[in-house]
Structures are given as C-alpha cells and as structure tokens.
Structure 1
Amino acid sequence: MMPHSTRYLIVPGWQGSPAEHWQSHWQKVLPDCSRVEQKDWMLPNRQAWIAELECQIAKDRRPVILIAHSLGCVTVALWAAQAAPALLQQVQGALLVAPADVERQDCPEPLRNFAPITEKPLPFPGFVVGSSNDHAATAQRALQFAHWWGCDSVILPQAGHINVDSGFHRWEQGFNWLYKLQERADYQHIA
C-alpha cells in the first residue's frame, strides 16, 4: 500500500460520475481522495479537460494515483503525452477503467474532439480494465490502448461499460487492480 502522503484523484468520464457510481463510492472510502470537476460534463472540450486535470494535479505537490473512467482515461493519456516532467513525476500510477474509444465509428459527436487517441506510453505505471461487451470500446481496442500506453490490462467478461448502467455501484472487486497498481508503483519507486 502507498504511504498515507499519496493522494487519490478521481477522473470521471463524459457526463461525470453520479452518486451511485463506483468512482463516487471510492471517493468516500479512499483516504485523501478528491475528484476532477470539469466545467462542462455534457459537451467536453479536449483542451479544457486536459487543462483541468493538470490544474488538479499541480495544486497539490504530493504524489498522486489517478483513477479514471471512460473519457477520463483518454484525458489522462492525452495529458501525460504533453505534460511537464515535474508534474509527470508526481503521478505514481493510473487505473484506467473502460477507456472510451473516441475514434470508433459510432462515437457520440461531443466526444470526437478527443481523437486521435495518443499512442505515447505513459511515463508512470498504468492498469487498463476493459470489458468483453463495452459499447464504448471493444475488448480488442481496450487491449490496444493498454499496449500503446505501456499498461498492464485485464478484460472483464460481460461487464458492459463498468458503470452504474452495467450494475457497478460500489465495485469492491476493482480495489484488487488498484492495489496491484500501487504495488507496482511502490516497486518502481524503490528500484
């Protein structure tokens, strides 16, 4: 487990994460956890979302673990591809759950400005959790993102978009991947 000085930052996706979403539950139970609050959840703007993520990371100089969902995963990857080294060093790892494929043919119009998805590896440990039947990204695409970003990955069977609509409220199982990510981050920090 990471030292208490490490904080957690929830990075929601399109339309935010409602009170019954697992990200909201995790925010209540994880120590020292906050969330990125975007100015416009319905009409996301790539540059504005990246800038707000950067602002939330920069305002507290302690190490941080990012916990992203859907469009939040793409935002994390895009931010990491262009962020300053000093800020990148603060990030101990990123749990990227159900990344949204903003390049897919049926992608909702408000999300298309997040394309193209970066292929640049993350400069910190990452773990991608996808699903075998996610409408926002096929399992193959989720694995491709993990490969591009240099992340470990797992595909959950029949988990949908790993959100409230697919029955994920508290999602206690997800802590397993958060702890694996933290162990990897600890190991890399010591090595």
Structure 2
Amino acid sequence: MPQSRPTHPRSTTHSFSASPAASAPVVLTVPGLRGSGPSHWQSRWETVRRDTRRIELGMWDRPRRNPWVTRIDQAVRAAGAPVVFAAHSLGCIALAWWSELAGLHWPGPVRGALLVAPPDLGFRPLAAELADFAPTPRRPLPFPAILVASADDPWISIAAARSLAADWGARFACVGAAGHINAASGLGEWAEGQVLLQRLIDPSQPAPAPGDDACARPAPPAMDAAAGSAMVGG
C-alpha cells in the first residue's frame, strides 16, 4: 500500500466567507463500512433533498482505499457543479485520502465537506477491516469542513475527534450522545445536520454549530466486538 505523505503542521480552519463558484452545489454523500441503509440520515437526505445523491463506492463489506478514492474522484468529475460532501464514518477517511492523493487546492471543485463520525482506525474489533485505509491522513484539507462528533461514539473518543478536526483544519461540532451518528441513532432526516450542511452550501447564511458542552463528559465504557459491529453503517 502506498505510504502516506509526511504530516503537515496543523492549519487554521478555512473561512466560510467566500465560495469558489456561484452556481448551486451538488451534495454527494459518502457512506462508510457496510453502506447506509434506508433509515440512515444519508439515505433520508438522498430522498428528501433534490440536490443530494450518493457516491456508489461498492465493496461495502470489504472496502479498499484505492477503489473508493477512484470512485470519489469520478463522482466529482461527473458532478457538473461545485460539490459539497456529506461523509459518514469510513467515508470521511476515504474522502481525506482522496484529497491527499488528488493534490487539491483552494479554490477548486469542492465547496466544503460535512465529516460525520470519522472512526479511529485503531478501533480493535474492526481494525482488520479498516486496515487498507490506515494510517489516517492528517494533512489539512484544502476546503472548508465541519467535523461532527458524538459524546458516546464507540469508534472514536472526543479527544481523538478534536485532534483530527484540528489536523484537518475543520470546525468541530458536538451533537451530544448520538452513538455513531448512524441509523441506530434514530436521527430521521437529521435537521441539525442539515443546518450544518447549509453552512457549507451557502457561507453567506451563518448558522450556529452545536456547542462543545455536550461532549464535555467522561467517555462511555468500551464496547465489545459484537456491539461495535452493530454500530457500523446502517
């Protein structure tokens, strides 16, 4: 597997005050391991939002970095408009790898990215399944991003999520105790997430991000392999 590039110094977050293109963007969802079922907020968005469609990454149960990166690249090239990503879990890591390997610059085809519940690739019960995506790329992203974390996500600690947001130059948002922020979280169309998405789609319309207070609590007990697997995708 190709080695990652050296880690760069932490960047400041991108300003949301300007967009690289005047046309309305396309929202591309990037699911994670095992995909996103009909009750997942990504699937619900694809149903209720006319601007939203899924990147069909394939290999949902046995994901591989390079094929997923290629599918992301193809989807961006075929979009015909600026792109805003709505990525979940392993999809966030795949998106970071695409940004790393594509050598993107700002401004470019991507207007922003909502990065929801990126996992810690060292999560033991699933480490083997995620190994092709390791190590997590930590180069600053060349577009505005919001990283959304949950206080009781079994895949990543709040400290690790904050650190990743800082390395990527992303705004950090906490949504309280919402598990892996997937179908099991029971979010429906996830109105709070759509508020954050709109902040990326139209930077001229400020919208408050959830505060950090909801995540200022002790970490939950570690899950076993079966429980952790149940939190995947959905």
CA deviation after TM superposition for structure 1 residue 165, in Å: 1.3
CA deviation after TM superposition for structure 1 residue 55, in Å: 0.9
> Which residue type is aligned with residue 99 of structure 1?
P
> Which residue type is aligned with residue 40 of structure 1?
M
CA deviation after TM superposition for structure 1 residue 3, in Å: 5.8
Q: What is the 5 A alignment of 1:88-167?
A: 89-167=108-186
Aligned residues: 187
Q: In structure 2, what is the Cα distance between the partners aligned to 1:90 and 1:74?
A: 19
Q: In structure 2, what is the Cα distance between the partners aligned to 1:35 and 1:168?
A: 18
1:15 equivalent in alignment to 2:34: yes
Contact 1:70 1:100 (8 Å CA) reproduced:
yes
1:28-86 C-alpha deviation (Å, 9 max, x unpaired): 22222211112210000011111111111111231010000000011111111121447
Q: Counterpart in 1 of 2:200?
A: 181
* Among candidates 45, 50, 60, match of residue 79 of structure 2: 60
What is the DSSP-based 3-state SS (H/G/I as helix, E as strand, rest coil) of the residue aligned with 1:78?
Answer: helix
CA deviation after TM superposition for structure 1 residue 104, in Å: 3.2
What runs of 5+ residues in structure 1 fail to find an aligned partner? Answer: none
Contact 2:23 2:81 (8 Å CA) reproduced:
no
1:27 equivalent in alignment to 2:46: yes
| Higher-helix-fraction structure | 1
CA deviation after TM superposition for structure 1 residue 185, in Å: 8.0
CA deviation after TM superposition for structure 1 residue 178, in Å: 1.0
Cα RMSD for the two superposed structures: 2.3
Contact 2:93 2:136 (8 Å CA) reproduced:
yes
The more displaced of 154-163 and 1-10 is: 1-10
Q: In structure 1, what is the Cα distance between the partners aligned to 2:53 and 2:76?
A: 11
Q: Counterpart in 2 of 1:51?
A: 70
1:92-131 C-alpha deviation (Å, 9 max, x unpaired): 0000001111133443421121110011011000000001
> Which residue type is aligned with residue 47 of structure 1?
N
Structure number with the bigger relative contact order (C-alpha 8 A, sep ≥ 6) is 2
Contact 1:66 1:95 (8 Å CA) reproduced:
yes
**CA 1:134–1:17: 2 relative to 1, 3 Å:** same
Q: In structure 1, what is the Cα distance between the partners aligned to 2:29 and 2:203?
A: 19
1:144-174 C-alpha deviation (Å, 9 max, x unpaired): 1111110001122211001111222221121
**CA 1:151–1:184: 2 relative to 1, 3 Å:** farther
**CA 1:169–1:185: 2 relative to 1, 3 Å:** same
What runs of 5+ residues in structure 2 fail to find an aligned partner? Answer: 1-18, 207-234
Q: Tell me the TM-score normalized by structure 2.
A: 0.73
